[in-house]
Amino acid sequence: MSGTAPTDSRPGTAMADAAPVLTVRGMRKEFPGTLALDDVALSVRKGEIHALLGENGAGKSTLIKCICGAYAPTAGEVLVEGRPVSFATPRGAVEAGIAVVHQHYNLVPTLSVAENLWLGERLPRRLGLVDWPAVHARARQVLDRVGLDIATDADVATLRPDQLAMISIAKAVSGDARIIILDEPTNALLPHEVDRLFDQMRGLARRGHSFLYVSHRLAEVFEIADRVTVLRDGRNAGEFDRAGLDRRAVVDAIVGKSATLVARKTRSHAQAQVMMQVQGLSGQLARDVTFDLHAGEIVGVAGLPGSGAEDTLNLLFGRFRRQAGTVRIGGTLVDLRDPAAAIAAGIALVPADRLAESMFHAESIRANISMPSLAKYLRDSVIRLINRSAEVAGTLQVAEQMHVRMAGIESPVSDLSGGNQQKVVLGRWLSTGARIFLLNAPTAAVDVGAKAEIYNLIQSLAESGAGIVFASTELEEYPVVCDRVFVFSQGRVVGELAGDRLTEGNIMTLAAGGDLPDDAT
Amino acid sequence: MTQPETGAKPALPFNLMRFLSRYGTILSLVLLIIIFSAGRPEVFPSVRNMLNILNQVSILGIIAVGLTVCMVVGLFDLSIGAMATFGGYFAARFLAEIDSDSVLVVLAVMIAVIVLAMLIGMLNGFLIARLGISPIVETLAMSFIVTGLILGISGSRTVNPSEITMTFQWIGQGRIFGIPNAVLILTATAFVLWLFLEHTQSGRNMYALGGNKEAARLSGISFTRYALMGMAIAAACAALGGMVAGANLGSGRPQGVGETYLLNAFVAVFIGASTLKPGKFHILGTAIGVLLIGVINNGLSTLGVPTFWQYIVQGTILILALISASANSVRRV
C-alpha cells in the first residue's frame, strides 16, 4: 500500500493558502484527575481535507467534543471564519456551520433515506398533513448536491456503508455545514467503498467545504489529507503539509520519541514447552492465523481495528464460528465450539468491553468472581447446593491475590473503580483451572496506577507457567507486556516482532500496511 | 479513547430515596395493616383474618413465585393464565375419568399434569432461546393455543363437583393444624424456589443470565438450558396454582380461571423487584408483593370500601414501587 504515491493534483491544494475557516487556540480540557487536552491548536482552511491523527487516548475525541459543544473546554477558544464562537450545546455548533458525522453515522435504519435527511426538522405540510412529494423533492436535491445516486424512498437498512456515510455527509451539507468533522468514517468500509467516499469528499472540498478527518488508518490519511495534525498525550505533536508528509515522520510524531524509553519488558518466563498450537485459524475477519504459544509466554496480537487480531482471541474462546483451522492444547486437538468448551479446555477470556461483556453489575464482588467456577463450591452433585462459606473463602483469596481494593467481598461490584473491576474479571479465571489466558485490552478504561498493577498481575500469571495471548488498543503496551508480537493487517499475520525489533513504531508501520526497512519476516 | 475515571463515589450517610427503594413496600405494608387494624379493630387484626388473607392470596402466590423464576433469567411469561386453567381443568378431568379416591392416584395425576405443563414450558423456552422469538409474543401465542386445546378437549363443559374426588377437594379446602392447605403449598413452593434461586448453582446461573447475558455466556453458562428450565418452572407453578384453585372450587372449569391471576402475578413480581434488592427479581420480594395485594383487597373490603378503590390503591402502589426502583437503577448507571 505504501507504493501508491499520491499525486500533487489534490483538489484541496488549490485553496491551501486560503484563510482558516476553523481555528482552535489554547484548548485545554481537564477531567477529575486527568488533563485530556493541554494547549492544543488546530487550523482548518477553506476547502481543505485535514486529518487529525493520534493514538487511543491522545485526545482526538475530546478535542472534537470540545469543538462541537459536547464538552465545555476548561480554557481555549474556537473561531469560525475568524469570529470566536462558543456553544453550550451541539445544536449551537450546527448553527455555526460545524457538523459531526460519527462512526455509526447517526441514521435510523428503519426509516427511509428522505425521512433520515429530514430527521430533527419540521416536515413540510399541506392541510396539516405531511407533504410527502415535497419531502422527497427536497431530499432529491440534497442527494444530487453530493452526487449520490440512490432512491429517496430506499430503506436505510438496505444501503452500503459508504452510502450511509455519504447520506450523513449530505445531511450535514444540506444544513449549510462549512466544516464537516468525520470521526473514523471508514471503520466499516471496504477498500472500494472507501475510494468512492473519498471521491465524493474531494468533490465537496472543491466546492469549498472543509473536512476534519479523524482516523488511525495511516494509508488512507496519506491518500486523502491535504494537511495533518498529530496529537499525543493531549498535546500537539506535529503538523504536516501534503509536501512534507512522510510516513516515518508521522509515525514518530504519533508514537513519540519517549516510546523508545518506556520500560521494555526485560525478563521472560517463557518455557520450552509448547502449550497451544494454532494452525490455519480463520473466522470473522481473521485469515489463516498460525502460531505457537509456550508455557509462561506472553504473545501479543496487534493490529488496527478490523485487522483480525481481536477476532483471533474471540475465535480461540469459541465466541464465533471457526471457518477453518485447528487448535491443539498440550498436543491434543480441541474443539472450541462455544465458550463453555473453551473453559473446559482450560482457556480464559477477558473481553474488551468490561461493562457489556464481563460485569454482572447487580451482583456482589463475590458472585462476580465465582460465576464461572461455582462448580467448585457445591455441597452435592444433584441439587447443586452451594457451600456459601467455601465460596466466600475462595473468592476472598482471589480478591487478595489480585489486590482488589474493596470494602468487603459482599460489596456491589459497581462500587469498585474500573481498575479494581478489571482485577475482579481477571481473578474470576484463577479458580477455573485456566492455563491459557486471552486478554483483550485488559487495561482499557483504567487509571495509570491500576494499569501498572494489571501488568504485574499478567507477569505473575506468566511466571506461574500460564500462557497468555494479549491484545490492546494502545500499541505502546505491547513492548512493555509481551515477549513476542504478531502484527495483523487485513486479517492476516504480516509480521512477527521480538527483542529489539519489538517497538511501537514497528508495530504501527506493519499494521498500517508498510514494510520494515530491514524486514526479514 | 480512554475515558478518565470518575472519582470515588461520595458516601452518603443516609439517602431517603435509597431507603424507600429498599424498604418502601414493606413500610407501606406495615402502614396499611395499621390503618386497617385501626379502622376495624374487631375484624382485621385477628389470627383468623390473617389466615384468611393468606388463603386468599395463596393461589396467586404459587403462580407469582414461578413467574419470578422465569423473569430472573430475563424472560417473560404471558401464558401463565392459560397454564393455570390448564392445570385446574386437566387435574379435575383426569380424576373424574379415573374415579379413584386413593391419595396415591390423586398425587400421581397432579404430578402428571405438572410434567405436561413443564413440557409446554420447555417448548416456550426452546422457541424463545433457539429461534430468538420475543418471549412476550411467543407466550401470548402459546396462551391462545393452550386455551384452544382446553376448550376443544372439554367441549366447554365444566367438570362438576360431584365428579371430583373428595381427596382432591381436600387439597384446596382442608387444613392441617388449622392452617389452610393452600397456604402450606404456597409456603413449600416459595421455600423450594427460594433455595433454588439463592443457593444452587442453577439459580445463580439464572441470575447471571438475567444480569448480563453475554458475560454469562462467556462464563460458560448456556442460555438455552436455563431458558428451558425457567419457562418450565413458571408453567409448572401456574399449573399447580390452577390445580389448587380447581380443588378449592371443587370444579374443573375450562375457562376463566387463570386470567384473574395473570396480571396480579406480574404486579406482585414487579413490586417484589423494588423490595430489599432494588432492580432484582427475588422470591422474598414477590412474597411481599403478594401479601401487599392480599392486605389491600381484604382490608378495603373489611372497611366496606367499594371494590373500585382496590384497583386504584393497587395501581398507585405499583407505580410508586416502580418509581422508587427506577430511581435507584437510574443512579446506578
- CA B196: distance to chain centroid? 15
Banded model confidence at residue B82, pLDDT cuts 50, 70, 90: very high
Contact across the interface for B204 and A33, Cβ inside 8 Å = no
pLDDT at position A395 is 95
Q: How far apart are CA A439 and CA A429, in angstroms?
A: 11
pLDDT of B7 strictly over 50:
no
Cell of A51: 486529518
Identify the closest residue of chain A to B8 by CA–CA distance.
A417
% of residues, chain A, pLDDT over 70: 93
pLDDT, tens only, B125-148: 999 999 989 999 999 999 999 999
Identify the closest residue of chain A to B9 by CA–CA distance.
A415
Reported as type and span, the H/E element at residue B27 is helix B16-39
pLDDT of A68 strictly over 90:
no
Beta carbons of A489 and A303 less than 8 angstroms apart: yes
- pTM (2 decimals)? 0.78
Banded model confidence at residue B151, pLDDT cuts 50, 70, 90: very high
List of residues 6+ apart from A74 with CB closer than 8 A:
A28, A29, A30
Going by their DSSP bridges, the two strands A347-350 and A125-126 should be labelled as unpaired
Nearest to A481 by CA among A268, A278, A307: A268
Enter the ipTM: 0.82
Residues A18-31 have a mean pLDDT of: 87
Alpha helices, H only, A233-324: 247-255, 309-316
End-to-end CA, chain A: 17
The CA distance from B203 to the nearest CA of chain A, in Å, is 10
Banded model confidence at residue A110, pLDDT cuts 50, 70, 90: confident
pLDDT, tens only, A432-469: 889 999 999 998 777 767 788 889 899 999 999 999 99
Q: How far apart are CA B195 and CA A417, in angstroms?
A: 32
pLDDT of A16 strictly over 50:
no
Beta carbons of A231 and A237 less than 8 angstroms apart: yes
Going by their DSSP bridges, the two strands A274-283 and A298-302 should be labelled as unpaired
Residue A267 — φ and ψ, nearest 5°? Answer: -110, 125
Q: How far apart are CA A49 and CA A67, in angstroms?
A: 17
Residue B235 — φ and ψ, nearest 5°? Answer: -65, -40
pLDDT, tens only, B212-239: 999 999 999 999 999 999 999 999 999 9
List of residues 6+ apart from B323 with CB closer than 8 A:
none
Residue A244 — φ and ψ, nearest 5°? Answer: -95, 20
Tell which wins on pLDDT, B22 or A29: A29
The residue type of A247 is R
pLDDT at position A26 is 92
- CA B333: distance to chain centroid? 29
Beta carbons of B78 and B124 less than 8 angstroms apart: no
% of residues, chain B, pLDDT over 70: 93
pLDDT at position A105 is 73
pLDDT at position A257 is 59
% of residues, chain B, pLDDT over 90: 63
Banded model confidence at residue A390, pLDDT cuts 50, 70, 90: very high
- CA B203: distance to chain centroid? 17
Contact across the interface for B204 and A386, Cβ inside 8 Å = yes
Q: In this predicted structure, which of A255-259, A430-434, B241-245, B279-283 has the lowest mean pLDDT?
A: A255-259
Q: Nearest Cβ partner of A374 from B3, B204, B332?
A: B204
The residue type of A386 is I
Q: How far apart are CA A377 and CA A370, in angstroms?
A: 9
pLDDT of A13 strictly over 70:
no
pLDDT of B22 strictly over 90:
no
Contact across the interface for A33 and B205, Cβ inside 8 Å = no
Going by their DSSP bridges, the two strands A49-53 and A210-214 should be labelled as parallel
Residues in chain A: 521
Identify the closest residue of chain A to B6 by CA–CA distance.
A32
pLDDT at position A5 is 40
Alpha helices, H only, B73-212: 80-98, 103-131, 135-154, 166-173, 181-199, 201-211
Nearest to B183 by CA among B109, B303, B191, B296: B191
Contact across the interface for B212 and A351, Cβ inside 8 Å = no
Q: Select the residue from A37, A215, A361, A371 to test the B interface by mutation, using most B Cβ atoms within 10 A.
A: A371
Banded model confidence at residue A188, pLDDT cuts 50, 70, 90: low
Banded model confidence at residue B5, pLDDT cuts 50, 70, 90: very low
pLDDT at position A70 is 83
Cell of B291: 401479601
Q: What is the side-by-side order of every strand in the sheet holding A49-53?
A: A98-101, A179-183, A210-214, A49-53, A227-232, A235-241
pLDDT of B6 strictly over 50:
no
Residues B174-181 have a mean pLDDT of: 92
Banded model confidence at residue A8, pLDDT cuts 50, 70, 90: very low
Q: Select the residue from B212, B225, B274, B328 to test the A interface by mutation, using most A Cβ atoms within 10 A.
A: B212
Cell of A167: 447520506
Contact across the interface for B215 and A343, Cβ inside 8 Å = no
Residue indicated by cell numbers 486437538 = A333
Identify the closest residue of chain B to A364 by CA–CA distance.
B208
Contact across the interface for B3 and A414, Cβ inside 8 Å = no
Query: Which range, A9-18, B18-27, B30-39, is most confident?
Result: B30-39
Banded model confidence at residue A520, pLDDT cuts 50, 70, 90: very low
pLDDT of A387 strictly over 50:
yes
Report the mean per-residue pLDDT for chain A. 86
Q: For residue A258, how many other CB atoms are within 10 A of its CB?
A: 10
Banded model confidence at residue A12, pLDDT cuts 50, 70, 90: very low
pLDDT at position A373 is 92
Residues B253-279 have a mean pLDDT of: 88
Residues A326-347 have a mean pLDDT of: 93
Q: Nearest Cβ partner of B5 from A57, A363, A447?
A: A447
pLDDT of A260 strictly over 50:
no
Residues of A in contact with B216 (CB under 8 A): 360, 371
pLDDT of A404 strictly over 60:
yes
Reported as type and span, the H/E element at residue A23 is strand A20-31
Tell which wins on pLDDT, A521 or B21: B21
What is the sign of the dihedral through the CA atoms of A498, A499, A501 and A502?
positive
pLDDT of A167 strictly over 70:
yes
Q: Which residues of B make CB contacts under 8 Å with A?
A: 1-9, 195, 199-202, 204-205, 207-208, 211-212, 214-222, 279-280, 332
Largest pairwise CA distance in chain A: 81
pLDDT at position B13 is 55
What is the sign of the dihedral through the CA atoms of B190, B196, B198 and B202?
negative
Tell which wins on pLDDT, A352 or A445: A352
The CA distance from B187 to the nearest CA of chain A, in Å, is 19
Query: Which range, A112-121, A335-344, B314-323, is most confident?
Result: A335-344
Report the mean per-residue pLDDT for chain B. 89
pLDDT of B301 strictly over 70:
yes
pLDDT at position A407 is 87
The residue type of A363 is E
Q: Is B174 helix (H, G, I), strand (E, B) or coil?
A: coil
Q: How far apart are CA A422 and CA A447, in angstroms?
A: 11
**Residue B233 falls in which region: left (phi positive, over 0), alpha (psi -120 to 50) or beta:** alpha
Banded model confidence at residue B15, pLDDT cuts 50, 70, 90: confident
**Residue A69 falls in which region: left (phi positive, over 0), alpha (psi -120 to 50) or beta:** left
Residues B240-258 have a mean pLDDT of: 91
Strand intervals (E) in A32-117? 34-45, 49-53, 75-80, 83-85, 98-101
pLDDT, tens only, A191-213: 777 888 888 889 889 988 899 99
Q: At what angle do helices B47-72 and B283-302 cross, to 10 degrees?
A: 140
Q: How far apart are CA A152 and CA A155, in angstroms?
A: 9
Q: How far apart are CA B135 and CA B246, in angstroms?
A: 28
- ∠ CA(A19), CA(A167), CA(B3), 5° rounding? 75
List of residues 6+ apart from A229 with CB closer than 8 A:
A42, A50, A51, A52, A53, A236, A238, A239
% of residues, chain A, pLDDT over 90: 39
